[in-house]
Structures are given as C-alpha cells and as structure tokens.
Structure 1
Amino acid sequence: MTIKAIAMDMDGTLLNERKIISSKTKAALLEVQRQGIKVILASGRPTPGLFKYAEELAMEEYDGIGLSFNGAHVLDYQTNEVLFEQPLPLETSKAILEHLKSFDVKPMICHQNYMYVNDVFDNQIHFANEEINIIEYEARAGGYKLCEINDLAGFCDFPLHKVLVAADPDYLKKHYQEMMRPFEGQVSALFSAPFYFEFTDLGITKAKAIAAVLPKLNVKKEELMAFGDGQNDQAMIEYAGIGVAMDNATTELKQVADKITLSNNEDGIAHALEKYLF
C-alpha cells in the first residue's frame, strides 16, 4: 500500500515525555516530506500550540497541515489558509460553562492570544504521584497569556473551538458523565488525557477533520497512516488505511489499531516509518 500522508497526535505520540521531538523522529519526518509524503499534526492542543513543532519539521516548506482542538480547526502551514473549522455554537458554550460551576473542575477557554480561567491560583491537580500546575501547563503549551474571569459563562461572547476541563483523574472519571449528560446529542465530549475532558461541537473528531482535507491533498483514506495514543485518537486510527498505536497507548486504542509501534519515548514513529515505508 502506498502511503501519501501521515497524521500524528502530539502529546504521548510525536512528543516524548520531555515534550520534544527526538532527533531520530525529526529526521524520519523530514525524510518522508522530502519524498513527497504530507505530514499532518493532529492534536487536542490549540492552534498556536502546534506552531513551534511545525516550524521544527519545516512544514511550511513542505505544505504541512495542522489540525488542532481535536479537529475543530485545520490550518495549511504554507498558505495560512483555514481548511476546515467547526466551533461550538455560542449558546451551547455558555450553557456548558454554566453547568460546570456545579463541579470541582478547572474550565479553560481560549480566544486570540488569551486563555481565560476562573482562578489563576487554583491551578493544581494530582496525577502520577505529582502535583501539576495545570493552568500554567496548558497556557504554556498554547503560548497564551492568562486572564482571570470569575464568570466564564457570562463573559464568553465569542465562538469556542472547545471547552477544556481539567481535574484530578479520579474526579473526572467519577463525574464526566454528569458533566456531559445535559448536552448529549448536542456536543462531542471525550478525554484527551486522564486529567483533561473536552467538549467540542457535535461530530468533531480528528478523523472528520482529516476526511475534510484529504481531497485537497489528493490523498485517499487508504493512503493515510495515523499514529496515536489516546481516546481522542481512536476515530483517526480507525479511519486511516494504517492505524498505528504507540506502545504507551491505551488498551482500547491498541485493540482497534492495525499496528503497534514502540512508545513515544523510544522513537515509536521513526521505528514504524523505517519498518513500513523506508
């Protein structure tokens, strides 16, 4: 099977635990682009949170694609053209933010250069035996300035690509169904990490966004290879001609993947490209 495009998740897939692209993986992705294969970054991160990695992979030169907010926004790095976009309806966003006031969670919304939160000092979550400043972590990942707004529902008067909810994993696991129940049939909602639960517009997945842009790249789904590690990658892995789960992926993702490669800390993407393409 000829592969003409490669889509990959970022955190836990392309990036290692130090949040960098290893030299081996970078070299492999530059080589496939030199061969004419398109590279698609496919992340739950906000659009600005992909820019430095796209630059590192010379994706402007090779006409690469950036898929952000789990598929709610797709950008052509060469032309800066928005190829696909599907934000939440404003009233739905406001209703979700109002509903979240009943839960012990940290909602975050982004607009232009700012990330808005209820309390910049209420920022700690517990994960993997560590305390994480989750608000600083997310703001840094997106390159955002932080702004504190007590009433996000009342404040929000702009379209959102997603509403991000952060909390301790055990709390989210216990309450996520209550959080999404009033909006069933209106939104898509899923985990992008054990401590992140996200609301996007109904039907939004990485697969839907990729399907919208592949014809513009003259690529068929059978000619797509995709890499991922989490729940928000499942639709993409199932959609691709070859879906590859990282060794550190969830059990559920490994069960639907066509192949399993090494972990994100072991150059799993480079290993798979060398095995199947070079």
Structure 2
Amino acid sequence: MSIKLIAVDLDGTLLTSTKQILPETEKLLKQADSQGIKVVLASGRPLSGVMPFNQQLGLMGKKQYDIVFNGAVIQDLAGNVLMNEEMNYRDFTNMRRLQRLAHVNLHFETPECYWTCDRDIGVNLADSATNTNNVIKVRKAEEIPQDFAFNKVGLSVLSDVKEVDKLWENIPQWAFAKYDVVRSFSTIVEINIKDASKGNALMELADRLKIRPDQVMVFGDQGNDISMFSNPDFKKIAMGNAIEMIKENADFVTDDNDHDGIAKALKKFVL
C-alpha cells in the first residue's frame, strides 16, 4: 500500500484522555512526515486549537496543512486559507431557533473567537474555549451585526447531558437538509454549512496535492469523522474507543487513543 496522506482527528484520536500526544505516536507521525507522507490534522477545532500539536509534530509552513472547523476551512500552516465555508446572519437566526428545542449553550465559532448570546456558560463551552485558546464574546442578540459570518456552531451541554439528547432527538428535518449536523460527542451537537465536512475537505486537499483517494489514510473516533469514513477509497482506521458507526465503516479497528492506536496502525500498514 502506498499511502501519501494521513489525516488524523485530534480529540479522542491523536490526543489521549489527558489531551497529550503519546511519545510513540509522535515518533511515528514524524517518521511518516520525514518520508514525504503528508500528515494533516483534521479537527473540529479552529486553527488556534490545533497549532500547538502541529508544532509538537514539527508540521509548519506553507507546504503543511490543517483541516479545521470540521472541514469548513482548509489552511496551510503559514496561515493562508485555501478554502473557507461560512454561514451568515440568516443561519444565525436558524441556530437560535434550534437552541429553543432544549436547555443548551449555543456558540458560534470564527477564526478569531467564540460568540454566544447566552448569559450562563456551561463547563463544556468553557473547556472548549480553553482547549482552543479562544476568547468567548458574550453579546445580546440585537448586538450581532447583520454581516455576521461564522464557520461552525456548537450546541453543548449546559448542566444536563440529557438536554443534548433531547435536542438531538428533536432536530427538525429542515436542519439536516440545510446543514451538516453531527453529534461529535455525547455533550455537543456541531453544525456546519451543507457539504462542509472533514471528508469533503480532505478530498479537496488531496486533489490539490494530486494525491489519489486510495493513497489517503484516515484516523477517527466520533460523529464528526463519519464523512471521512464514508469514502470507499480511503484507508479507514477506527480507534478502539470509536463509536460503533465509525467502527462499522472502518477497514481496521486499532487500539484506543490512550494506548498508541495510531502508532500501532502505522506500523501495521505504513511504516
């Protein structure tokens, strides 16, 4: 097998439960990069939340790339944007309609910061902002400008995860038809513009780099990785801690994120 691009999800995949990259995984990803294989971090996070791990892996500059905001944005690691899919003020009002379905936090993600109209901030949203090095700007709805643009939306647990269950069970069909809606973890529902997904962004990037789909390997564990695992040509590696839908669509299930699952699959198939 000739793999030329390895796309790796962050939370629950590259990162352990304590948000670290294990030494053996770091070593083998660096080895892959040294052999000319593109290593691309594909995350729901903004670039600010991914860059520390790029730096740890030695991935920097205009010839290295990240897929961020669940595929809404492709950037090189010099900060240049190759693709940018945004939502607008009409989408902002639609998201506020969805929030009324349950008692959850609603936030809007841009490359600069998080925005919310919620006065009460749950631990999940606070942790997300901390993990991605983001400020949370709290504004009244009437303070949001008509030209407001954002890349991703999060509807997350405020005080009770059952409220996220309630939200997920009651999202209307029009929302699934109009947007890319995923439940990335039990505590959060994430929304992007339609067709903005990790899988589509990865196909776009591979095409730009003249890499065939069958030369792409992907690693993932959660709902926001399903678009990568839906591509029949990618070599798909599910983490041992992955949800069942990811495992069912995988070519191979490796060990979990706390036991060098990525490193073990790289040894088996690539290095």
Under a length normalisation based on structure 2, what TM-score does the superposition of the two structures give? 0.91
**Which position in structure 2 is the counterpart of 1:59?**
59
The answer as to whether partners of 2:88 and 2:148 remain within 8 angstroms in 1 is no
Q: Please give the residue correspondences for 1:221-232 in structure 2 after superposition, counting only pairs within 5 Å.
A: 221-232=213-224
Contact map agreement 2:16 2:257 (CA 8 A) in 1: yes
1:197 is aligned to 189
Shift of 1:62: 8.6
Identify unmatched segments of 5+ residues in structure 1.
124-132
The CA distance in 1 between the partners of 2:172 and 2:72, in whole Å, is 18
Matched, 1:166 2:166: no
CA RMSD of aligned residues (A): 2.0
Question: Partners in 2 of 1:183 and 1:89 — Cα distance?
Answer: 15
Per-residue CA deviation, residues 166-195 of structure 1 (Å, 9 max, x unaligned), is: 024322222224334442421111111111
| Deviation sequence 1:211-258 (CA, Å, 0-9, x none) | 111122221100001000011111202325310000000111101100
1:23 and 1:37 map into 2 onto residues whose CA distance is 19
Determine whether 1:183 maps to 2:175: yes
**TM-score normalised per structure 1:** 0.89
Structure 2: runs of 5+ lacking an equivalent: none
Q: Is the 8 A contact 2:22 2:260 kept in 1?
A: yes
1:229-244 equivalence runs, <5 A: 229-239=221-231, 240-244=233-237
Tell me the amino acid that sits aligned with residue 218 of structure 1.
K
Distance 2:214 2:35 in 1: 18
Q: Does the CA-based 8 Å contact 1:71-1:205 persist in structure 2?
A: yes
| SS of residue in 2 equivalent to 1:64 | strand
Q: Distance in 2 between matches of 1:30 and 1:152?
A: 48
**Structure 2 counterpart of 1:85:** 84
Identify if the C-alpha distance between structure 1 residues 92 and 192 changes in structure 2 by more than 3 Å, giving closer, same or farther.
Answer: same
**Does 2:116 match 1:117?**
yes
Residues 1:218 and 2:217 are matched in the alignment: no
Instruction: Work out the CA distance in 1 between the residues paired with 2:94 and 2:167.
Output: 17
Number of aligned residue pairs: give it: 268
Kept after mapping to 1: 8 A contact 2:101/2:166: no
The residue identity in structure 1 corresponding to 2:58 is A
Secondary structure of the structure 2 residue equivalent to 1:203: coil
